[in-house]
Amino acid sequence: MGDKLDRNQLAWLSATGLLIFFGVWTFAAWIELAPRKFLPLPWDVVERGIALMTTPFSGQTLQGHLASSIDRYLRGFLLAAAVGVPLGLLMGWYRWLDNVVTPLFDSLRFIAPIAWVPFAALWFGTGIGGPTMIIFAGAFPPCLINAYRGARFVEKKYIEAAQVYGASGLRVIFEVLLPASMPSIIAGLRISAGAGWQSLIGAELIAANSGIGLMMVRGQGALDTSIVMVGMIAVGVFGLLIDVALRGVEAWVNRKRGL
């Protein structure tokens, strides 16, 4: 492997990559590689984004649509974490529960979250329930799998020491398995957060009456590519912020554990 790069070099490389991307985009739009309404210039997209922050489109401003998306996302993601992490830990400790849940879980987790859209639309309509169900479907598997793996690979000496001191099954789970599995759980939450956010946008394209996904599909219908691009940028930036926050939590947990 080559020499390691310091932070300044990495920052310059990242900036160079962004400059190349925006340079190619600007050149392609400037020579009208595609009609301007389908490939706008970068500053046209910026202007449209600023306008959407003050002028409602499809019923809300840009920040209003983003707030609706974040609200739905947090409901689905937090529900997935609240169910998936404890269930994964319990499955890692109780073999009978593992045998009961695993066949059903393995048969459902390979169904793409977007495949649940028709059911969500039929059962819940375009309110909170439908998108929450789809986000849950995308975010739940990584939470459960990583919590389960973390619990299964805890060193037996810690479990045996707790049992010697008379710890019950639930105490072992919450005082031994949970702390020891925390790095794996946080890694699962990072994957889950990304999967849930992607599932949300897919759900809003079909089964929502507000949100960034709806704004994008309405922009497509109006043949306004700049609105679609503004939505994509908003999705990407917020997704990056979620990942940065969870990486910070992961680093903090590792420092506490001396890793």
Tokens of 39: 């490939």
pTM for the whole structure: 0.82
* Size (the chain), residues: 259
Cα 259 to chain centroid distance, Å, stands at: 25
> How confident is the model over 223-246, as a mean pLDDT?
89
Tokens of 198: 């992607």
Separation between Cα atoms, residue 259 and residue 257, nearest integer Å? 6
Whether 129 and 22 map to the same domain: the answer is: no
Q: What is the pLDDT of residue 31?
A: 86
Number of structural domains in the chain:
2
At 144, is the pLDDT very low, low, confident or very high (cuts 50, 70, 90)?
A: very high
Query: Are 64 and 210 within 8 A, CB to CB?
Result: yes
Whether 95 and 4 map to the same domain: the answer is: no
Separation between Cα atoms, residue 73 and residue 63, nearest integer Å? 15
Residue 57 phi/psi, 5-degree rounding, is -130, 130
User: 158-209: per-residue pLDDT in tens?
Assistant: 676 766 666 666 777 777 788 888 888 998 999 999 899 888 877 787 667 7
Whether 230 and 171 map to the same domain: the answer is: yes
Tokens of 98: 């593992």
Query: Are 212 and 163 within 8 A, CB to CB?
Result: no
Residue 55 phi/psi, 5-degree rounding, is -110, 120
**What does the DSSP 8-state code read for residue 61?**
-
Whether 92 and 3 map to the same domain: the answer is: no
Q: What is the CATH number of the domain that holds 44?
A: 1.10.3720.10
Domain housing 15:
1-33
Whether 250 and 197 map to the same domain: the answer is: yes
Whether 127 and 26 map to the same domain: the answer is: no
Separation between Cα atoms, residue 135 and residue 74, nearest integer Å? 9
Cα Rg for the chain, rounded, in angstroms?
Answer: 23
Share of the chain above pLDDT 70, in %: 89
CA angle 76, 79, 82 (to 5 degrees): 150
Query: Are 203 and 135 within 8 A, CB to CB?
Result: yes
Whether 98 and 222 map to the same domain: the answer is: yes
Give just the sign of the alpha carbon dihedral 3, 9, 10, 15: negative
Separation between Cα atoms, residue 165 and residue 167, nearest integer Å? 6
Tokens of 123: 């059962």
Q: What is the pLDDT of residue 11?
A: 78
User: 86-139: per-residue pLDDT in tens?
Assistant: 999 888 888 899 999 998 888 888 888 888 888 877 787 666 778 888 899 999
Separation between Cα atoms, residue 168 and residue 34, nearest integer Å? 67
Q: What is the pLDDT of residue 107?
A: 84
Whether 131 and 236 map to the same domain: the answer is: yes
Whether 87 and 2 map to the same domain: the answer is: no
Query: Are 154 and 177 within 8 A, CB to CB?
Result: yes
Count H helices and E strands in the chain, helices first. Answer: 11, 0
Query: Are 229 and 45 within 8 A, CB to CB?
Result: yes
Q: What is the pLDDT of residue 169?
A: 66
